[in-house]
Structure 1
Amino acid sequence: MKVILIGFMGSGKSTIAEVLSEQLAIEHHDLDLLIENRSGLKIPEYFDQFGEAKFREFEHQTLIDALEMDGIVSTGGGTPVQDANFALLLDHPTPTVFLNASDDTVIKRLVSDGIQSRPLFQQLGEEGLLDLKHSRQNRYEQLADITIDVNDKTPDKIVAEIIEKLNQGTNKERAY
């Protein structure tokens, strides 16, 4: 494992992981895709059939397995909020990169992606979603070895910043 990416939905975790994976020539493991492949269901379908609590249990087990894989892990937006996941990520030796997006950036990206692919956006609406984002912010910050502001930046620029900061080292003493 080289890097763990965290951040709220719409912060660009999957996109950045793909670009970072190419530039570092290592594998990328998207936690949501691992969950979908293992469950045989898309995330919205899993939520509909089993609810958020069951999803979070399944997500935790998948996270444990993903952290054993080599490469980059991009988490779901709610992954670090769960106490068991938070403890797991906090104790893991891999550097954790927080992709920090403004409210405007998140809403713009989610609307562009289509809200039907985001069950929490459908359920909470814009105001509720931003309240959720604000409630999660502290957890993201607590886990972050590196924080990257993603607003108004291209994926290549964000990845260059991540690599530069990784090369400077983190409190987990990793350099790449």
Structure 2
Amino acid sequence: MEAILIGFMGSGKTTVGRLLADQLTTQHADLDDMIVERAGQAITAIFEQHGEGYFRQLEQQTLRGALAQPGVLSTGGGTPTIPANAAILTASPVPVICLAADDTTILDRVAHDTSRPLVNDLDTAALLALKHQRAPLYEAAADLVIQTDQLAPTEIVATIQDWLSQPARRSAQA
């Protein structure tokens, strides 16, 4: 992996991940898509039939496997909030980049997305509370945090590429 993208749902991980992979002439992998392929069912079905614990086990196994592959990895919103996953991310030499967005931006992006189990299960206040609870966990796992609200995806990619090209890039903020 050349880079791992983390952040709350709707922060732009998949969009930016695809563009970044194109710019780096490598492949893009979405951890949630990899889990779906591995399980043979949609994430909502995994949660409904097996529960979050089973999903998190699949996620951890899939994350370990993904790190050995080339490309850019976009994780699920909950991935770095699980201590075992956070340990895997922080121990990896692959740069971990957190995409952050304010509450209004997140709500605008996920409001009508029924494919996200937490959007289906939580009201707005609970969803935002979860976002705020997870923010320090994202920041702790990240080598770089980018506030994306006022940036186009191509600008975010350019910021990441600039940062990746710097020799001393640990513990940076953008």
Residue type of the alignment partner of 2:170: N
Q: How many residues align?
A: 170
* Alpha-carbon offset, residue 63 of structure 1: 0.4
Matching residue of 2:156: 158
* Alpha-carbon offset, residue 147 of structure 1: 1.0
Give 5+ residue unaligned stretches, structure 1. none
CA deviation string 1:29-57 (max 9, x = no partner): 10000001111111111111111111001
Structure 1 stretches of 4+ moved >2 Å: none
Q: Which has the higher helix share?
A: 1
Matching residue of 2:170: 171
The alignment partner of 2:87 has SS state of: helix
Give 5+ residue unaligned stretches, structure 2. none
Question: Is 1:133 aligned to 2:131, yes or no?
Answer: yes
- How large is the Cα RMSD of the aligned pairs? 1.1
Matching residue of 2:91: 91
**How many angstroms apart in 2 are the aligned matches of 1:122 and 1:115?**
8
CA deviation string 1:106-125 (max 9, x = no partner): 000002xx231111011111
Percentage of identical aligned residues: 45
* Alpha-carbon offset, residue 152 of structure 1: 2.6
1:1-176 to structure 2, matched below 5 A, reads: 1-111=1-111, 114-169=112-167, 170-171=169-170
Q: What is the TM-score with the length of structure 1 in the denominator? A: 0.93
Q: Is the 8 A contact 2:144 2:170 kept in 1?
A: no
Q: What is the TM-score with the length of structure 2 in the denominator? A: 0.95
**How many angstroms apart in 2 are the aligned matches of 1:166 and 1:115?**
32
**How many angstroms apart in 2 are the aligned matches of 1:115 and 1:15?**
15
